[in-house]
Amino acid sequence: MASASLLKTSPVLDKSEFVKGQSLRQPSVSVVRCHPAAPSALTIRASSYADELVKTAKTIASPGRGILAMDESNATCGKRLASIGLENTEANRQAFRTLLVSVPGLGQYISGAILFEETLYQSTVEGKKMVDVLVEQNIVPGIKVDKGLVPLAGSNNESWCQGLDGLASRSAAYYQQGARFAKWRTVVSIPNGPSALAVKEAAWGLARYAAISQDNGLVPIVEPEILLDGEHNIDRTFEVAKQVWAEVFFYLSQNNVMFEGILLKPSMVTPGAECKEKATPQQVADYTLNLLRQRIPPAFLSGGQSEVEATLNLNAMNQSPNPWHVSFSYARALQNTCLKTWSGRPENVKAAQDALLVRAKANSLAQLGKYTGEGESDEAKKGMFVKGYTY
């Protein structure tokens, strides 16, 4: 994940510079230590939190560490629990989340954890606040702030992400509870277009959310997720990703978002899940790094790949020459084997925590370009793509 703390703020660009297939100009990209920008029209919304936002972004983007995404809604968490024969009760959700946050030594490989609202206010089974357990391990607590996807009227059966209403007050409350960064999940579907309307809606929503988050002390993860659904090849994904990120950066500038205080998180550039032409880790690395070169440095999402596949692709990117801090923000690609190992049994907690630590360490090595893939379990190699997957 490339924290935008590695970038200096850019001037407001005309939209024509972002579209028509042209590369985004990067005159101010820098990989040296970045100091907070002087107050200007671009940073006024985040001015009262500017220093803290930059510090938080740099902490999350520290070498050898990445993000554990455990922000599944209660309904989605219920599906995960059902896969191991457990009911979707608050007690069972609490037990699994306690298992995740309390893994000894997790902070060595994980720098941030994205939480669902219930988890942010929840305590462990031992009665300690989840947020406090994370902070003690030097893991920054984050929060999913959107209100889910709904049909986008006038589109080709596409979606838009709701949740801007009341976001400022909710973000202020999340900050008081201990959250320091935020996630907003919006998606773009290639089989359904994507339509210009859907791309614009996704980009505008991300930009408004980012500005509001910074205004309330939260570092926003900027994530237009390109869904894996479809039979399209990797070249089609690449073209759509370029289009989407051009639109995103245009609206980030229009909304005066402070670039030093955001984390950018695109999907890896892969073929559609149902495409007959599979891509190698090196191909995924080449296409994704090419996207970054043309659009600006971001971070990564596993998006239904197997645990090993996601790690191999990340490793290949970090073995290729690139100027970015490329890390990970994984949910199922970190949790899957852990969940199956636990199976809801108290006697399996230690083994499940060990399984999570193995995955976290593997991705830490991949983030440094040192992962070999040796000794991986069969479970870790299983694909996790779910067609039409929702949170």
Distance of CA 303 to the CA centre of its chain: 10
For 10, the token pair is 């850019």
Amino acid letter, residue 91: A
Rounded Cα gap, residues 78 and 351, in angstroms? 22
Residue 107, phi then psi, degrees to nearest 5 = -65, -10
Nearest CA among 302, 361, 334, 357 for reference residue 64: 361
Rounded Cα gap, residues 191 and 137, in angstroms? 42
Contacts of 25 (CB under 8 A, 6+ apart): 13, 17
Give the other-Cβ count within 10 Å of 310's Cβ. Answer: 29
In the chain the beta strands, taken as DSSP E runs, fall at 2-3, 66-70, 110-115, 140-144, 149-151, 159-161, 181-183, 186-188, 219-222, 224-226, 263-264, 329-330
Q: How many CA atoms lie within 13 A of 262 on its CB side?
A: 35
Provide the β-strand partners of residue 7. 29
Residue 183, phi then psi, degrees to nearest 5 = -130, 140
Q: What is the DSSP letter of 110?
A: E
Rounded Cα gap, residues 387 and 385, in angstroms? 6
Active site residue 223: yes
The catalytic position among 117, 201, 223, 307 is: 223
Rounded Cα gap, residues 122 and 178, in angstroms? 12
Ramachandran area for residue 242 (φ above 0: left; ψ -120 to 50: alpha; else beta): alpha
3 state SS of 7: strand
Active site residue 265: yes
Amino acid letter, residue 179: A
Nearest CA among 261, 335, 258, 309 for reference residue 67: 335
The span from the first CA to the last CA of the chain, in angstroms, equals: 22
For 370, the token pair is 């040192």
The catalytic position among 58, 183, 242, 265 is: 265
As annotated, the active-site residues are 223, 265
